[in-house]
Structure 1
């Protein structure tokens, strides 16, 4: 950059603040040329369009690591999510994150779907990857749009929730009591059936969580503690069990073996969760309030609890009363 006097007496300001951008202008006086040169230099320092950043060439795996360092480590399932994201990076050949091609992702998703991966799992992974971009953009670590923002998740048909009838509950408890190799299975099952707790929530209860005829569940899926009352008989049973056998230990495998012995067949993935569905289903069938059920189950959204509404005794009875064939048959 320089200011030179020309033979005709005028002054030439010749500036090239960044490579590829040159500014030349003639002035009557040297002072005017110097002021112009200073103006060009000042704009170079403050105007992003005059001082563009180099393109972001970080790989997808680098963004995943950064996401985990800044945010993912705080999540309950952060390590599990990161392991799935790391595997996704490998399958996609770790592209430049800013240049991730949605069609490349969709092709990988198709291959996995054809190999037997469930739509729910694939939708979860899409959500995890989107969250990486969205969270890092919110933290100011990237400046470009989420390349997967327009990719649609698979539409999943709502499946019927499996729950146990009174007879099936009896068969299950008989199978547990007659040949179970883990003494903790029965109290955990009873606790799930009595409170609608998830298996892991019930399995991690201790005597300290049982007070005044109620069980308090902490470290829940929604991260909110909830307290559910139980009968005096169940409270006494649990206290006696803990005195004899100590704290609960992992019992899910023994439960599945007992379920198989009972002869009860449940859809894949609904073995222990059928206990929670059974509590909710019986609660509604016997006239329980849907809002109360939401609080007992710890659902953050009423929409989740409404899955059980069709089991209410008077649900949609008007379909019978007002159907056009009501007077014919």
Structure 2
């Protein structure tokens, strides 16, 4: 017996008499309304019945139920509660984010949800979300004046939520997977030449308490969070190496780096000399660089309150971000003959593509690449 049935609702007949322009009487009767009822038994024993006024809507609903049934027969999973994106986001944030993601990552998800995703798509059931909704969200963020880079970040958060909705069994298929990112302009690689490094260090040696921190960063390529989170238990003078396994964030010290993996950095002579000097004068704090009371340096303040003013006072024409000290290290490493693949390990990049932004500085690397084609 088919689970799609045509019902004819019997409506009371009524007659209306009218007079035509020719004087003849005419009568009209109301037509019977058609409806289409879907009656479907789900694999868990539940029965789903719904009535539609259009046959196409009934057939689409029936097809969806069949897909859900087949999924259960194939995988043993059945679609969970029919929820809106707003309702699912509460479940998702508690189960997939809270306590499992870094505080900074969780804050990014919360910002995307509250400011962009939920205001646009929150009331829509997640099973209906598709490419058209993605475009609607993207346009909304663009109209707020955000750059393509920022738009892509929020859209990536939205796609992550939808991926997890599929994994958690709330939708059959993530229909926004594969939605393309906006093209974004790559930032120019900014770094100091040797003269600029010399000018800055000559000034800070006598005028900035963070001089040793700058020297260490320029000689190791550490990220700001990694150098601020460096503790003495990770400095091994016997093996002459530093173990990078922690990072200081706005929410405190974290036992992992941005890449999620520990790495080992050999000390050059300048790095070893700086660390030995600091070790002899350490005040009992576990941190290599700390305030006078032994607490870690204020992570948020170093770039704007200390590093940038020192550049201005040193009368440098090229004012850079603290992270550009890492670019300075990497750029000179390559220009002095270092391998791109070795640099990848030193910087802690998971993908070689990230390190390839320095490839154009490696003359030998580029020369070898050119030799692959010759006509």
TM over 0.5: same fold? Answer: yes
CA RMSD of aligned residues (A): 3.6
Consecutive unaligned residues of structure 2, counting only runs of 5 or more, are 8-39, 49-64, 69-78, 246-255, 285-291
State the shift of 1:220 in Å: 0.7
The residue that corresponds to 2:201 in the other structure is: 173
Residue 256 of structure 1 is aligned with which of 308, 325, 328? 308
Bigger shift: 236-245 or 272-281? Answer: 236-245
Instruction: Tell me the residue number matched to 1:300.
Output: 350
Relative distance call for 1:67 and 1:196 in structure 2 (3 A) is same
For residue 226 of structure 1, the aligned residue among 263, 274, 279 is: 263
What is the aligned partner in structure 2 of residue 265 from structure 1?
A: 318
Q: Offset of 1:297 from its aligned partner?
A: 0.6
The aligned residue for residue 139 of structure 1 is 168
- Counterparts of 2:162 and 2:281, CA distance in 1: 49
Partner of 2:328: 278
Does the 8 Å CA contact 2:359/2:365 hold for their aligned counterparts?
A: yes
Query: Is the 8 Å Cα contact of residues 116 and 140 (structure 2) preserved in structure 1?
Result: no
The one of 141, 151, 167 equivalent to 2:179 is 151
Partner of residue 135, structure 2 = 106
Summarize deviations over 1:136-194 as a string: whole Å, max 9, x none.
21122x123324225321112333311111111122223434543xx3x2232222111
The total of aligned residue pairs comes to 282
Deviation at 1:315, TM superposition (A): 4.1
What is the rounded CA distance, in whole Å, between the counterparts of 1:186 and 1:48 in structure 2? 72
Q: Give distance in 2, aligned partners of 1:131 and 1:257.
A: 39
Alpha-carbon distance, 1:211 to partner: 1.3
Calculate the TM-score normalised by the size of structure 2.
Answer: 0.64
Q: Aligned residue for 2:32?
A: none
Q: d(CA) in 1 for partners of 2:206 and 2:144?
A: 40
Aligned 8 A contact 2:138 2:155 in 1: no
Question: Structure 1 residues 115 and 19, CA, compared in 2 at 3 Å: closer, same or farther?
Answer: closer
Aligned counterpart, 2:25: none
Q: Distance in 2 between matches of 1:45 and 1:148?
A: 27
**CA contact 2:85–2:118 (8 Å) conserved in 1:** no
Within 1, Cα distance between the matches of 2:195 and 2:136?
47
Preserved CA contact (<8 Å) 1:92 1:105? no
Say if 1:319 and 1:206 are closer, same or farther in 2 by CA, change over 3 A: closer
CA shift at 1:271, angstroms? 0.5
In structure 1, what is the Cα distance between the partners aligned to 2:203 and 2:84? Answer: 53
- Indicate the residue corresponding to 1:217 in structure 2: 244
Aligned twin of 1:25: none
Partner of 2:148: 119
- Contact 2:117/2:158 (8 A) holds in 1: no
CA contact (8 A) 1:207 1:242 kept: no
Distance (Å, rounded) in 2 between the aligned partners of 1:237 and 1:271: 27
Does 2:225 match 1:197?
A: no
Q: Residue 206 and residue 47 in structure 1: after superposition, are their counterparts in 2 closer, same or farther (change >3 A)?
A: closer
Residue 26 of structure 1 is matched in structure 2 by: none
Instruction: Name 1:60's counterpart in structure 2.
Output: 85
SS of corresponding position for 2:297:
coil
- Do the aligned partners of residues 264 and 221 (structure 1) sit closer, same or farther apart at CA in structure 2, a change above 3 Å counting? farther
> In the alignment, is the contact (CA less than 8 A) between 1:286 and 1:313 conserved in 2?
no
In the alignment, structure 1 segments of 5+ residues that lack a partner are: 1-14, 23-42, 322-329
Moved more, 63-72 or 92-101: 92-101
